[in-house]
């Protein structure tokens, strides 16, 4: 009797697999990537990562004479990229595609190692709705944050950060499109490579970056947005992300704490595409503690509770850019960006020791400007580019209760000249 039962179950499973196999379309594979080299000159010391390729801001004046007023030069063969696109696979009415992408990157030290950039699958369904003009796509895996996907026209490694969100995260993100004109996007993300800041431990209040704040907070980052295409050449996006983390979850004796920071960061984006390679785009973000998106921000303690827990308040900042490009073989492009700290939502109880700011930047700045005129020459798969990056920061001293510097406000500029050679595979 058992043999008969298992035989029937096996036959049922085989028939199901065979039915799906008959309705299955094979996948197509496409390799892509590039070899890229950078040469960089800076007129002064800078705060940057990846061997100074990923540029945030110039360092403030230090002493008399100014120790940071020292020029530097680097030639770097980093961020060469390799990727694999998988498309065309179908199971019934469901389309399945995917991407695996890696590059050579200096995570620590000066030797470039291979690291994962993107790894996700997309499940898609077309022909939905009464008229059959709607579609649904579901991304599962690590890819670009929806607020970071539309980048300015520049050739440097940071691609607009910190004037544009920069974040790739594990996520489940759904995109439902109505009649190819309106797309609703929603889902959740997990902080992994790009992290929020906070206290190092329950007893050490120094600043650090960690995924534990979300891990023990139990709630993923949420996102919801809408994209509207009124014409083929023009589109508008708007959305917001919600982040809720626990900077501390236990005290020194192991007792659970009710600490929690919850922030909402809305944004709006517009883009127009014309002829002869012309495109102009602009984005503005009202960020709250957006350091997990590589924005220069943070948060601090606004209240000490009797049970040992803290109340937190985020630093608010206005982050914007406008960017344009023109041409195909010869391209001219550039970006203008502006960041201004707006102060914390509530008063800080101690800006000196209970205020945590993005470790990639300096907390004693008030506002920042950047201009990046660029020219590029495309000869088939070979691209040569020269970019001038002017970044100036208003620094100061003595933070007030909102985390804003008040005294000795002064502008400190940096002149960066960047040359790039890229060969697309």
**What pLDDT, on the 0 to 100 scale, is given for residue 268?**
98
Closest CA to 389 of 422, 357, 420, 424: 420
Q: Distance between CA atoms of 112 and 109, rounded to whole angstroms?
A: 8
**What pLDDT, on the 0 to 100 scale, is given for residue 407?**
95
**What pLDDT, on the 0 to 100 scale, is given for residue 365?**
97
Q: Using one digit for the tens of pLDDT, what is the confidence trace for 371-391?
A: 999 999 999 999 999 999 999
Q: Distance between CA atoms of 84 and 99, rounded to whole angstroms?
A: 6
pLDDT surpassing 60 at residue 162: yes
Q: Using one digit for the tens of pLDDT, what is the confidence trace for 59-71?
A: 999 988 999 999 9
Task: Quote the mean pLDDT of the chain.
Answer: 92
**What pLDDT, on the 0 to 100 scale, is given for residue 235?**
97
Q: Distance between CA atoms of 169 and 143, rounded to whole angstroms?
A: 6
Asked which of 105-114, 178-187, 191-200 is least confident by mean pLDDT, the reply is 105-114
Return the percentage of the chain with pLDDT > 90, whole number: 83
The pLDDT of 413-419, averaged and rounded, is 98
- Reduced to 3 states (helix: H, G, I; strand: E, B; else coil), residue 15 is helix
For residue 106, what are its two tokens? 């200096």
Alpha helix (H) residue ranges in 148-306: 212-215
Give whole-number Cα distances, 205 to 88, 98, 200, 303, 386, in Å: 51, 42, 6, 15, 43
pLDDT surpassing 80 at residue 74: yes
**What pLDDT, on the 0 to 100 scale, is given for residue 25?**
83
- Reduced to 3 states (helix: H, G, I; strand: E, B; else coil), residue 3 is helix
Q: Distance between CA atoms of 416 and 58, rounded to whole angstroms?
A: 10
Total length of the chain: 425
Listed by start position, the domains of the chain span 25-424
pTM of the model: 0.90
The pLDDT of 117-137, averaged and rounded, is 95
Between 201 and 327, where is the model more confident? 327
Question: What is the CB neighbour count within 10 angstroms for residue 246?
Answer: 23
Q: Is the bond preceding 162 in cis, omega lying within 30 degrees of 0?
A: yes
The pLDDT of 47-55, averaged and rounded, is 92
Those residues whose C-beta lies under 8 Å from the C-beta of residue 61, and which sit 6 or more positions away, are 68, 69, 395, 410, 412
Return the percentage of the chain with pLDDT > 70, whole number: 94
- Reduced to 3 states (helix: H, G, I; strand: E, B; else coil), residue 220 is coil
The burial of 232, by beta-carbon neighbours within 10 Å (0-12 exposed, 13-18 middle, 19 or more buried), is given as exposed
pLDDT surpassing 60 at residue 302: yes
Alpha helix (H) residue ranges in 240-367: none
Where residue 9 falls among pLDDT bands split at 50, 70, 90? very low
**What pLDDT, on the 0 to 100 scale, is given for residue 5?**
40
**What pLDDT, on the 0 to 100 scale, is given for residue 109?**
65
Q: Distance between CA atoms of 260 and 416, rounded to whole angstroms?
A: 40
pLDDT surpassing 90 at residue 421: yes
Between 304 and 112, where is the model more confident? 304
Between 400 and 105, where is the model more confident? 400
**What pLDDT, on the 0 to 100 scale, is given for residue 11?**
42
Question: What ranges make up the beta strands (E) of 289-381?
Answer: 298-304, 310-326, 330-344, 355-357, 365-371, 374-379
CATH number attached to the domain at 25-424: 2.40.160.10
Q: Distance between CA atoms of 263 and 219, rounded to whole angstroms?
A: 13
pLDDT surpassing 80 at residue 1: no
Q: Please report how many Cα atoms fall inside a 13 Å half-sphere around the Cα of residue 245, on the Cβ side.
A: 31
Q: Using one digit for the tens of pLDDT, what is the confidence trace for 75-101?
A: 988 889 999 999 999 999 999 999 999
- Reduced to 3 states (helix: H, G, I; strand: E, B; else coil), residue 147 is coil
- Reduced to 3 states (helix: H, G, I; strand: E, B; else coil), residue 291 is helix
**What pLDDT, on the 0 to 100 scale, is given for residue 17?**
43
């Amino acid at each position: 009797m058992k043999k008969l039962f298992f035989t029937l179950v096996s036959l049922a499973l085989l028939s199901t697999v065979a039915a799906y196999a008959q309705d299955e379309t094979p996948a197509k594979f496409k390799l892509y990537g590039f070899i890229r080299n950078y040469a960089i000159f800076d007129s002064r010391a800078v705060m940057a990562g990846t061997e100074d390729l990923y540029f945030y801001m110039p360092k403030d004046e230090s002493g008399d004479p100014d120790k940071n007023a020292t020029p530097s030069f680097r030639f770097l063969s980093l961020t060469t990229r390799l990727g694999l696109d998988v498309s065309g696979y179908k199971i019934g009415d469901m389309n399945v595609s995917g991407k695996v992408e890696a590059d050579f990157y200096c995570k620590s030290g000066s030797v470039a190692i291979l690291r994962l950039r993107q790894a996700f699958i997309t499940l898609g369904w077309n022909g939905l709705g009464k008229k059959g003009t709607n579609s649904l796509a579901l991304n599962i895996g690590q890819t670009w944050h929806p607020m970071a996907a539309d980048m300015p026209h520049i050739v440097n490694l940071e691609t607009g950060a910190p004037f544009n969100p920069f974040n790739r995260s594990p996520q489940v993100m759904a995109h439902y499109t109505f009649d190819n004109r309106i797309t609703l996007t929603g889902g959740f993300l997990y902080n992994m490579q790009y992290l929020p800041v906070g206290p190092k431990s329950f007893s050490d209040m120094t600043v650090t970056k960690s995924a534990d704040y979300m891990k023990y907070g139990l709630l993923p980052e949420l996102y919801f947005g809408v994209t509207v295409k009124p014409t083929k050449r023009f589109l508008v996006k708007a959305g917001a992300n919600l982040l809720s983390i626990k900077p501390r979850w236990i005290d020194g004796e192991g007792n659970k704490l009710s600490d929690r920071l919850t922030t909402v960061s809305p944004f709006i984006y517009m883009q127009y595409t014309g002829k002869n390679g012309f495109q102009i785009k602009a984005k503005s973000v009202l960020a709250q503690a957006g350091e997990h998106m590589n924005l220069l921000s943070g948060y601090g303690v606004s209240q000490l509770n009797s049970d040992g827990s803290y109340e937190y308040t985020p630093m608010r900042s206005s982050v914007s850019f406008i960017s344009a490009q023109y041409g195909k073989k010869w391209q001219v492009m550039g970006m203008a960006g502006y960041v201004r700290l707006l102060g914390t939502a509530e008063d800080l109880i101690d800006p000196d020791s209970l205020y945590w700011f993005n470790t990639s930047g300096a907390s004693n700045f008030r506002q920042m400007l950047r201009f990046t005129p660029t020219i590029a020459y495309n000869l088939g798969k070979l691209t040569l580019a020269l970019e001038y990056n002017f970044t100036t920061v208003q620094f100061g001293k003595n933070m007030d209760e909102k985390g804003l510097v008040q005294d000795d406000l002064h502008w400190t500029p940096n002149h960066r000249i960047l040359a790039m050679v890229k060969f697309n595979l």
